[in-house]
Structure 1
Amino acid sequence: MDNTFDQKVIWITGASSGLGKFMACEFAKQNGILALSARRTSELEKVLVEVKKLGGDGMVVPCDILEEQQVENAVMEIIKQYGRLDVAIANAGFGIYGRIEKITAKDWKRQLDGNVTGLAMTAKYAIPHLKISKGRMVLIGSVAAYIPNPNTGAYGASKAAVRSIGQTLQIELRGSGVSCTVIHPGFVDSDIARVDNEGILHPESKDPRPKNLMWPTDKAAKVMVAAIAKRRKSYVFTGHGKFLAFIGQHFPVLARWMIGKLG
């Protein structure tokens, strides 16, 4: 078994469900020490129980990434408890959906505050401690950063910003010993498409994404942790995600035509 993260202190935002939860479990299998952040404390406690069952350890650090002071306080709590930080994963995020002509300024602000500013603040407060440990900064993007997609313009714009932030950090952190990995998942089984523009989960809602292209969350978490271990600069997955990202980068006219045909 890989032991890259044995006794490493790993902070994950958005750790109460989905990719954050399953990444925590993967790190736990390597005896990692998890600092779990999100708004839902009760759900974080459940994840911590799973982490300990799998051989890891950790603590719950409630944090709303929309509040800068809470982000700073979360890092301070982790350092107070463990004295170090080895990996920081800016995973918390959500999607605002609707055609650009329909999305309100309030929607845009919430989308960018969460997926861009919250992520940037996570990096801001983690990096000074990662420089001490020669650690890993991880940003969770999306294949949406590479391709246009009707009704997800705000989300795509936010993830394009994540990609740009990652590329900038890779230059700014050069020589510091800190790596910055930006991960761009394709379709992964999660609740993101069942959360409305006000942040309310509707578990009964149908996920509009194609089921045949959806990866199980545990499978996705495994490849993400492997990419973080290797300090990859950019990692795109699933198979369809890699294809769409390639087309979007190198054949943008074809990408627009394809997405238009898919609706």
Structure 2
Amino acid sequence: MDISLKPLNKQVMVITGASSGIGLATAKAAAKEGASLVLASRNKEELEKIVEQIKAEGGEAIYVVADVGKKEDVQKIADKAIEKYGQFDTWVNDAGVAIYGRLEEVSDEDNKRLFDTNVWGVVYGSLIAAKHMKNRGGAIINLGSVVSDVAIPLQGMYSTTKHAVKGFTDALRIELEEEKAGISVTLIKPSGINTPYPEHAMNYTDRELTLPPPVYAPEEVANAILYAATHQKRDIMVGGGGKMMSLTNKYAPGLMDWISENFMSKQEVKNKPARHKDSSLHHAGEDGNLHGNYEGHVRKKSFYTRSAAMRPLITGAVVAGAGAAAYALSNRKG
């Protein structure tokens, strides 16, 4: 079966992690394009507000309170979508949690919870979505990260989960293409994004958390997700900064290690004592916020991402240039 994706105003779209950040940005953007939405997260109060706002603006949406780390909850999302709309056309696995802490410090309990949400939530959502979409078509969109390609300190286990998401997504795509199931499978890999991610993260450090620059707006990720909902794409990196990191790690891994060892940890924390240690790891956090509190410059658009999604020939030139730069830096360092 050939892959044929509907226009957004004809789609029913499921979005997990929809009560803040990238998920919320995607929900708002998709609603404006006329998609019918099924929004899921652990935060009932915020989901109610978001759905009410979408409907007040003329959109169509329902919500499902669900913990994606529980397979039965993910199945409930699919069941509610089918009960309300008879089907769904795009499933976005966005729900995620984070930990800042050195590998030897983080507890097994916290690491397991991280994997339940970030990995098993994606696995459950993808497989349940694929079962419904086979022989009818659709798009599965999984949120990886630049750290699907590059591991960084202080977020080592988070990096591990995103590597796992990439491996699973690639394997799922291959199997579905082998079956000619008519399903597009896309991995979205954001760079640092100005969402409440640091505020929601479990903090094992004694300082306030932040993101390494460059940092981009969540609306740019939402734009990439909506593109993947209507165009077959293998993966989309959001942010040229993330692409440079990925290419440097591929062509000059020793250089990328050196950069991380000497600079990365310092860029992940502020020179301020941590105000609190609460997080959304084990329970719903304070949601409803699309943007975070990043104090530096936030890039609203990424030329690299838009060229990668819309103009493949430009992408080739950008990638070739970035690869040459990474190679030159490697030789200079050597």
TM-score by length of 2: 0.72
Counterpart selection for 2:211 from 191, 209, 212 = 209
Q: 1:246 aligned to 2:251?
A: no
Q: 1:48 aligned to 2:51?
A: yes
Instruction: Give the secondary structure class of the aligned counterpart of 1:151.
Output: coil
The structure carrying a bigger strand percent of its residues is 2
Tell me the residue number matched to 1:179: 184
Distance 1:118 1:183, change over 3 A: same
Q: 1:83 aligned to 2:86?
A: yes
**What's the CA shift for 1:116?**
0.5
Whether the aligned pair in 1 keeps the contact of 2:141 and 2:225 (CA below 8 Å) is no
Task: Give the stretch that moved more between structures: 221-230 or 175-184.
Answer: 221-230
- Tell me how far apart the structure 2 counterparts of residues 133 and 28 of structure 1 sit (CA, whole Å): 23
* Partner deviation per Cα, 1:95-137 (whole Å, 9 max, x = no partner): 1221111112112211111100111011121111122430000
Tell me the residue number matched to 1:202: none
**What's the CA shift for 1:261?**
2.4
- Tell me how far apart the structure 2 counterparts of residues 19 and 39 of structure 1 sit (CA, whole Å): 15
Letter matched to residue 40 of structure 2: S
- Tell me how far apart the structure 2 counterparts of residues 60 and 128 of structure 1 sit (CA, whole Å): 21
Whether the aligned pair in 2 keeps the contact of 1:141 and 1:185 (CA below 8 Å) is yes
* Partner deviation per Cα, 1:161-204 (whole Å, 9 max, x = no partner): 00001100111111110010000000111111112439xxxxxx
Letter matched to residue 260 of structure 1: E
Distance 1:36 1:70, change over 3 A: same
- Tell me how far apart the structure 2 counterparts of residues 127 and 254 of structure 1 sit (CA, whole Å): 39
Tell me the residue number matched to 2:229: 228
The alignment of Structure 1 onto Structure 2 pairs a total of residues equal to 254
Letter matched to residue 35 of structure 2: G
Higher relative contact order (CA 8 A, sep 6+): 2
Whether the aligned pair in 1 keeps the contact of 2:97 and 2:201 (CA below 8 Å) is no
Instruction: Give the secondary structure class of the aligned counterpart of 1:181.
Output: strand
**What's the CA shift for 1:53?**
4.5
**What's the CA shift for 1:224?**
2.8
Q: 1:15 aligned to 2:18?
A: yes
Tell me the residue number matched to 2:96: 93
Q: Structure 2 stretches of 5 or more lacking a match? A: 1-5, 265-334
Tell me the residue number matched to 1:201: none
Whether the aligned pair in 1 keeps the contact of 2:10 and 2:34 (CA below 8 Å) is yes
Distance 1:242 1:50, change over 3 A: farther
TM-score by length of 1: 0.91
Instruction: Give the secondary structure class of the aligned counterpart of 1:173.
Output: helix
* Partner deviation per Cα, 1:59-117 (whole Å, 9 max, x = no partner): 11111112111111221111111111100011001112211111121122111111001
Instruction: Give the secondary structure class of the aligned counterpart of 1:139.
Output: strand
Tell me the residue number matched to 2:197: 192
Give the % identical residues: 29
Q: Structure 1 stretches of 5 or more lacking a match? A: 199-204
- Tell me how far apart the structure 2 counterparts of residues 261 and 226 of structure 1 sit (CA, whole Å): 36
**What's the CA shift for 1:50?**
3.4
Instruction: Give the secondary structure class of the aligned counterpart of 2:128.
Output: helix
Counterpart selection for 1:108 from 111, 130, 148 = 111
Letter matched to residue 93 of structure 1: G
Task: Give the stretch that moved more between structures: 14-23 or 250-259.
Answer: 250-259
Whether the aligned pair in 2 keeps the contact of 1:64 and 1:70 (CA below 8 Å) is yes
